[in-house]
Amino acid sequence: MRAEPMHETFMISAFEGWNDASQAASEVIHYLIGHYESKLIHEINSDGYYDYQATRPMLCHITGRARIIWPHTSFYDITLSPDLHVLVQIAPEPNYHWKDYCREVLHVAEDYDVTHVITLGSMYAACPHTRPLPVDISSATCSCELDREYSGPIGITTILDQMACNAGMRTTSMWVSIPKYMNTDMCAQGTLELVHGLSTILGVPLDTKDLAARAETWKMKASTIAACDDRLSAYIAKLEREYDLAQRARTIASLGAPQAEQLVKEAEAFLKRME
């Protein structure tokens, strides 16, 4: 295990595909690359890692010439402030050889003295667009701390987290939940929630003005869709009640006995009104 560093050097990773509902996670990387001074510093070729029938190459035309763009991993150095550079990674989730792939990623991270790996993900869930989208943040300094409560299928982000921990790096996993009834659109609100979380972890205010405007457009579209569908509106109202009750429960748990008792009475009255 390496010694505790005097300062943190961050790598932020996101993968398109299974870990990227409504592209909310990968758009964080694209947003940072487009919004701040960035420089492409390394790439990992696709051979051996991808099934080209599942993740197909793309044909594009640049200056009048046809070019094939193969799936690949890109690393950028991004200047977020005069005192903070971060390494970011963006790639489609590989189809094969995950352990070899993560070793190659971590070799790049070690070359740039990364001490803290932040992985981003987004998933569809039963949550309303009218409330802040839930963000789950978990941190670890050793592999035994990873995913203590979850059992089930995992993506490449969890493998990278565990292997980074085993290599002596700190890790933070951050996932945002996206309303499953909005699974056909990119979710700028989910991207915004992740950027807010990154700002807290990195300790720097990140510019979100353009992203916030896109998030408002997404929310207005969701509300318009709901207004045209009575069943969807009723479903969203149910999700809102569940969200508000869960918030009340968390507030009660954080307070002393007298205040908690009063809030329990208010919650009971709220439930009676909903009957």
Judgement on whether residues 262 and 156 belong to the same structural domain of the protein: no
Judgement on whether residues 80 and 194 belong to the same structural domain of the protein: yes
CB 116 within 8 A of CB 86: no
Judgement on whether residues 254 and 166 belong to the same structural domain of the protein: no
Residue 89 domain-assigned? yes
Residue 220 domain-assigned? no
DSSP letter string over the chain? -PPPPSS--EEEEEEESTTBGGGTTHHHHHHHHHHSEEEEEEEE--TTT--TTTS--EEEEETTEEEEE---EEEEEEEEETTEEEEEEEEEPPSS-HHHHHHHHHHHHHHTT--EEEEEEEEEES--TTSPPPEEEEEESSGGGTTSS--S---HHHHHHHHHHHTT-EEEEEEEEEEGGGTTS--HHHHHHHHHHHHHHHTSPPP-HHHHHHHHHHHHHHHHHHHT-HHHHHHHHHHHHHHHHHHHHHHHHTS-HHHHHHHHHHHHHHHHHH-
Q: pTM of the prediction? A: 0.86
Give the Cα separation of 189 and 122 in Å (integer).
11
Judgement on whether residues 146 and 86 belong to the same structural domain of the protein: yes
Judgement on whether residues 139 and 263 belong to the same structural domain of the protein: no
Q: Rounded to whole angstroms, what are the CA distances from 270 to 75, 132, 245, 266?
A: 51, 21, 9, 6
Closest CA to 127 of 24, 208, 212: 24
Structural domain for 176, as ranges: 10-208
Judgement on whether residues 110 and 176 belong to the same structural domain of the protein: yes
Give the Cα separation of 209 and 193 in Å (integer).
13
CATH number of the domain at 170, please: 3.40.50.10900
Residue 242 domain-assigned? yes
- What is the pLDDT, as a whole number, of residue 149? 66
Instruction: Tell me the pLDDT band of 261, cut-offs 50, 70 and 90.
Output: low
How many domains, in total, are found in the chain?
Answer: 2
Residue 5 domain-assigned? no
Averaged pLDDT of the chain: 89
Judgement on whether residues 45 and 138 belong to the same structural domain of the protein: yes
Instruction: Tell me the per-residue pLDDT of 145-182, one tens digit each, with 9 for 90 and over.
Output: 555 566 788 999 999 999 999 999 999 999 999 999 99
- What is the pLDDT, as a whole number, of residue 258? 60
Judgement on whether residues 30 and 101 belong to the same structural domain of the protein: yes
Residue 214 domain-assigned? no
Instruction: Tell me the per-residue pLDDT of 209-219, one tens digit each, with 9 for 90 and over.
Output: 999 999 999 99
Residue 217 domain-assigned? no
Judgement on whether residues 52 and 110 belong to the same structural domain of the protein: yes
Instruction: Tell me the pLDDT band of 3, cut-offs 50, 70 and 90.
Output: very low
pLDDT at 58 over 60: yes
More confident residue, 262 or 19: 19
Judgement on whether residues 133 and 248 belong to the same structural domain of the protein: no
Q: Lowest-pLDDT range, 54-58, 189-193, 228-232?
A: 54-58
Sign of torsion over alpha carbons 35, 60, 156, 46: negative
Judgement on whether residues 162 and 89 belong to the same structural domain of the protein: yes
Residue 21 domain-assigned? yes
Judgement on whether residues 204 and 233 belong to the same structural domain of the protein: no
Instruction: Tell me the per-residue pLDDT of 81-139, one tens digit each, with 9 for 90 and over.
Output: 998 999 999 999 999 999 999 999 999 999 999 999 999 999 999 999 999 999 999 98
The mean per-residue pLDDT over the stretch 198-211 comes to 94
The mean per-residue pLDDT over the stretch 194-215 comes to 95
